[in-house]
Every structure is written in C-alpha cells, then in structure tokens.
C-alpha cells in the first residue's frame, strides 16, 4: 500500500495539476469507492466548484473546494489516481472521473475495494474519520525535533515496529518504511522503544527523517506489483534504493551480511541480522 512518501508525492502532483481548476462534470462508474453518500450527492457537491490547495492528513488527501467543503480521497491499500485526457479510454476499475472546464480529467481507480471518496465539510470529515483527531507526528508537515521523538519513544513502551506502525505516534509508516527505517538505524524490530540508549534514539530519529525524505525525493517506491505510480502514471524511483525490504538472501549494502526475512507479529519483516541489534 502507498505509505507517506508515495501519498505525499501524489499530494504535490495533485496540487500542481488540479489546483485552480473548475469541475465541469463528475462521473461515478465504479461501485465501491463512493459509499458515504450517493453518487448523485457526490456529483452535485463537486460540480461547479473550483479546486484549491491539497492537504494531507496522515494518508488521506483533502482537496479544498471553493464551496468551503473538501474532496476527500483515501486510497487505502488498492486505490490509484491518474490525470487523463477525456479522450483516453476509461480503465475498467475507474471509480470516479472528474472532468474540468479547462479540459482534462482526474480519474480515481481501484480494483480492490479499499478506496474511499467523498465530499465533506471539515466537521463531517472529523466525525466520519475520528482517528484524524488523534494523528501523531508528521515529518512532512513540520520538522520533528529529536527531543519530541525521544519523548514519544519513552512514553510508548512498545516494540519499535509497533511504534513506527502506529498513526497516533507517527503517521503513514507501513511495512516498507518500517523495515527501511530500522535498518538505517541499525535496530531490531522487537527492541522496546523505552529501552533505547540516547544514542540509539538519535539514530532512529535520523533514520526516520532521512529515509522518508529520501523516498519522497525519489517520488516514492513502486514495488514488484507495480501498483503505485504518480499522477502521470510513472513509477517511483525509490525501489532501487531499498536496503532490506524484499531483499532477503541478498548481501546487506552496509555490512555484507545476508538480509533475512522473518514472520513477526503476523507479517513478513526484512532485516539484517548482522548490523541490526
């Protein structure tokens, strides 16, 4: 599923491509993405509005409309977004197609039923998705200080993989970047967050910030499934930079040890047994 660097890349793309455009018509050919309101309601609240800035709350995108409402797009694990010309054939899994008065379309696609699209007031959004009121640190929203991060680790008393995967601690980190951040810090998944030395906390902090920003600079990671692409349909370049994720059996770039794969807490994790302690 797309994680923070991928969704942030899409947010930046979206802001560049659709901000300032006015919605002409909205088609909802799909059945799974629009469930919080009827297709008609979605269309009538969108049509005629002008799109403004694009915010991100965790992994959810919210496009400001000049009506004061928000177009909310949650990709889930399977949703995708594309800009398209109106002439391009509509892909089978197109859920929503937004046409602009200046020409061109924004298409929202999903073949896995996890995408969630709706128009909401800011209050409706918070009511509909209560976790938005409890989101944790967001490294792209504002710089996190090392001290704030260290306090969080001390308070949580959880395994590192659980802290990193908890959106009320730090937003948007899934399986790929959990493994990458921990490798960068030289720490194992099962280490307890409140038992790190201050040097280890600093290493984890630095790795978290650097890993996510590097990945965003490379426009995200497209995995072997090819699912994630940017708004133009291009793959992210960060896949070739991954240090451990899906590299089991290969040499660790840092210590030449062999990258291992193990099942921990119900999912596969990748790590280097030699340089992660």
Please, which residues bridge with residue 116 across strands?
74
- State the angle between helix axes of 4-18 and 198-217 in degrees (0 to 180), rounded to the nearest 10: 40
Residues in the chain: 277
SS3 (DSSP) at 196: coil
Distance (Å, whole) CA 256 – CA 166: 31
The residue (of 132 and 275) whose beta carbon lies closer to Zn ion is 275
Considering the complex, what minimum distance in angstroms separates the CB of residue 4 from Zn ion? 24
Tell me the window of 70-78, 121-129, 191-199, 250-258 that interacts with Zn ion (CB under 5 A). 250-258
Of 252, 269, 270, 271, the one binding Zn ion by CB under 5 A: 252
Considering the complex, what minimum distance in angstroms separates the CB of residue 274 from Zn ion? 5
Considering the complex, what minimum distance in angstroms separates the CB of residue 260 from Zn ion? 10
Of 90, 146, 150, 275, the one binding Zn ion by CB under 5 A: 275
The residue (of 254 and 261) whose beta carbon lies closer to Zn ion is 254
Considering the complex, what minimum distance in angstroms separates the CB of residue 199 from Zn ion? 18
- The yes or no reply on residue 91 touching Zn ion (CB under 5 A) is no
Please name which of 155, 262, 146 lies closest in space to residue 204, comparing C-alpha atoms. 146
Of 32, 37, 78, 274, the one binding Zn ion by CB under 5 A: 274
How far CA 146 is from CA of 58, 190, 197, 198, 202, in Å, comes to 20, 21, 13, 10, 7
Residues in 19-48 that interact with Zn ion by CB under 5 A: none
Distance (Å, whole) CA 273 – CA 269: 12
Please, which residues bridge with residue 263 across strands?
268
- The yes or no reply on residue 264 touching Zn ion (CB under 5 A) is no
> 191: how many CB neighbours lie within 10 A of its CB?
18
Distance (Å, whole) CA 246 – CA 160: 20
Considering the complex, what minimum distance in angstroms separates the CB of residue 258 from Zn ion? 8
Of 233, 257, 262, 267, the one binding Zn ion by CB under 5 A: 257
The residue (of 151 and 250) whose beta carbon lies closer to Zn ion is 250
Beta-carbon contacts of 199 under 8 Å, excluding residues fewer than 6 positions away, are none
Considering the complex, what minimum distance in angstroms separates the CB of residue 256 from Zn ion? 7
- The yes or no reply on residue 272 touching Zn ion (CB under 5 A) is yes
Note the residues at the interface with Zn ion (CB under 5 A). 252, 254-255, 257, 272, 274-275
């Amino acid at each position: 599923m797309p994680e923070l660097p991928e969704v942030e890349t899409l947010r930046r793309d979206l802001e560049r491509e659709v901000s300032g455009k006015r919605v002409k018509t909205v088609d909802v050919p799909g059945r799974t993405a629009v469930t919080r309101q009827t297709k008609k309601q979605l269309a009538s609240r969108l049509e005629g509005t002008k799109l403004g800035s694009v915010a991100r709350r965790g992994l959810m995108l919210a496009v400001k409309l000049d009506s004061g409402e928000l177009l909310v797009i949650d990709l889930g694990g399977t949703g995708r977004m594309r800009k398209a010309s109106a002439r391009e054939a509509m892909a089978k899994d197109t859920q929503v197609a937004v046409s602009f008065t200046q020409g061109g379309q924004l298409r929202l696609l999903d073949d896995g039923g996890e995408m969630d699209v709706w128009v909401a007031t800011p209050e409706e959004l918070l009511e509909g998705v209560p976790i938005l009121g409890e989101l944790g640190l967001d490294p792209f929203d504002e710089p996190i200080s090392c001290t704030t991060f260290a306090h969080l680790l001390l308070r949580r008393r959880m395994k590192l993989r659980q802290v990193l995967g908890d959106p009320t601690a730090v937003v948007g980190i899934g399986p790929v970047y959990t493994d990458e951040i921990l490798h960068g810090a030289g720490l194992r998944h099962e280490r307890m967050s409140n038992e790190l030395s201050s040097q280890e906390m600093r290493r984890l902090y630095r790795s978290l910030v650097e890993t996510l920003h590097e990945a965003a600079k490379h426009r995200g990671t497209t995995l072997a499934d090819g699912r994630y692409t940017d708004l133009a349909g291009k793959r992210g370049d960060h896949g070739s930079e991954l240090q451990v994720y899906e590299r089991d059996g290969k040499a660790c770039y840092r210590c030449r040890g062999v990258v291992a794969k193990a099942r921990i807490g119900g999912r596969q994790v990748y790590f280097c047994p030699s340089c992660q302690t």
